[in-house]
Amino acid sequence: MNLLPLKIYSVFIAFLLCGAGAYLFFKWQEIAERMVEEKHHREKHDIVTTQDLLIRFQRIAQYKKSNDPNELKLAIIEGDILIEELLRLQGLQGDTLGTLLSEATLRGLGGVDRFWNFHRLRNVLVHDSSYALGVHQGQSALMMLEEGLRSWKVA
């Protein structure tokens, strides 16, 4: 029996498999590099600056004169998110705003007491559905947020 044709086919198939493997390897590297580039691009654009926070606060501050408790609630929730981003921008680390505020308190950063009071009110609004926010209370909370941000030179 002549095995020469079988050897030729085997070598040919081996070359094809090596070629296909090399092609897939280089394609995979290209895809991995593109994913890393996209991640860095996203991270670069996701960075929040003090200017971004100021613009967002100006939108929130428009609700200080609102007489609608629902608008004030939303502004307070947005303000709470703004505080968290501000603390993260300052390099503080933690999983929740409460841990970030604790860290800020330990570091002796100014205005943190206002942020704590604001955050406590936000927690009541979010976790107690029966709580009725008064218009004056909501407006006062937004003023407290503004004072805290001023002490951090954001507002």
Are residues 52 and 149 in contact, defined by beta-carbon separation less than 8 angstroms?
Answer: no
108: phi then psi, degrees, rounded to nearest 5: 75, 30
1 plus 76 within the same structural domain:
no
40 plus 80 within the same structural domain:
no
Torsion sign, CA atoms 115, 119, 121, 125 = positive
HSE value, Cβ hemisphere, 13 Å, CA-based, for 145: 34
User: What pTM does this model have?
Assistant: 0.68
Domain count, the chain: 2
71 plus 40 within the same structural domain:
no
Determine if residue 153 is left, alpha or beta; phi over 0 gives left, psi from -120 to 50 gives alpha, anything else beta: left
Q: What is the DSSP string of 49-65?
A: -HHHHHHHHHHHHGGGG
pLDDT at 5: 80
Encoded tokens for 27 = 């394609």
Q: pLDDT digits over 42-95, tens only? A: 544 456 777 888 888 999 999 888 899 999 999 999 999 999 989 988 888 888
C-alpha–C-alpha distance, residues 11 and 15, integer Å: 6
CB within 8 Å of 81: residues ≥ 6 apart: none
8 plus 78 within the same structural domain:
no
The confidence band for 139, taking pLDDT boundaries of 50, 70 and 90, is very high
Tell how far CA 139 is from the center of its chain: 26
Rg (CA), the chain: 28
Domain that holds residue 1: 1-47
pLDDT at 28: 78
72 plus 115 within the same structural domain:
yes
14 plus 79 within the same structural domain:
no
Beta strand segments in the chain, E? none
| Domain stops at, among 29, 47, 65 | 47
25 plus 98 within the same structural domain:
no
Query: Which has the minimum average pLDDT: 8-17, 34-43, 146-155?
Result: 34-43
pLDDT at 46: 56
Instruction: Please give the helix or strand (H or E) that residue 69 lies within, else none.
Output: helix 69-89
